[in-house]
Amino acid sequence: MFDMKGETVSYDTANNALVIVDQTELPNKYVQLSLKTREEIYDAIKLLKLRGAPGIGVSAAIALSVLANNSGARTKEDFIKEFNSNCEYLISSRPTAVNLSWAVNEMKNTLFLCKGEALDIIKKALQDKALSIHSDDILRCKSIGNYGARLLRDCKAVLTHCNAGRLACVKYGTALAPVYVLKEQGKEIKVYADETRPLLQGARLTAFELSQAGIDVTVICDNMASYVMKNGLVDAVSVGADSIALNGDTANKIGTSGVAALAKYYGIPFYVCAPLSTFNKSALTGDDIAIEMRDEREVSEMWYAERMTPEAVGALNPAFDITDASLITCFVTEKGVFKPEDIKNLF
- 242: annotated active-site residue: yes
Using pLDDT thresholds of 50, 70 and 90, give the confidence band for residue 3.
low
Determine what percent of the chain falls in helix, strand and coil, rounding each to the nearest 5: 45, 15, 40
For residue 263, list its beta bridge partners: none
Residue-wise pLDDT for 110-162, tens only, equals 999 998 899 999 999 999 999 999 999 999 999 999 999 999 999 999 999 99
- Residue 1 has a pLDDT of 41
The pTM of this model reads 0.90
- Residue 298 has a pLDDT of 94
Residue-wise pLDDT for 178-208, tens only, equals 999 999 999 999 999 999 999 999 999 999 9
For the chain, give the mean pLDDT: 94
Residue-wise pLDDT for 235-269, tens only, equals 999 999 999 999 999 999 999 999 999 999 999 99
- Residue 210 has a pLDDT of 96
Contact 165, 209 (CB under 8 A): yes
- Residue 81 has a pLDDT of 96
Specify the CATH number of the domain 152-345: 3.40.50.10470
- Residue 96 has a pLDDT of 75
- Residue 280 has a pLDDT of 93
Marked catalytic residue, from 3, 242, 287, 288: 242
Q: Does 5 score more than 90 pLDDT?
A: no
Using pLDDT thresholds of 50, 70 and 90, give the confidence band for residue 53.
confident
Distance CA 232, CA 234 (A): 6
Q: Does 6 score more than 80 pLDDT?
A: no
**Domain ranges within the chain, ordered by starting residue:** 9-139, 152-345
Residue 27, preceding peptide bond in cis (omega within 30° of 0): yes
Q: Give the residue among 270, 246, 274 at the shortest CA–CA distance from 329.
A: 270
Residue-wise pLDDT for 32-48, tens only, equals 999 999 999 999 999 99
Per-position DSSP letters for 303-324, written without gaps between them: T-SS-SS-TT-----BSEEEE-
Architecture of domain 9-139: Up-down Bundle (1.20)
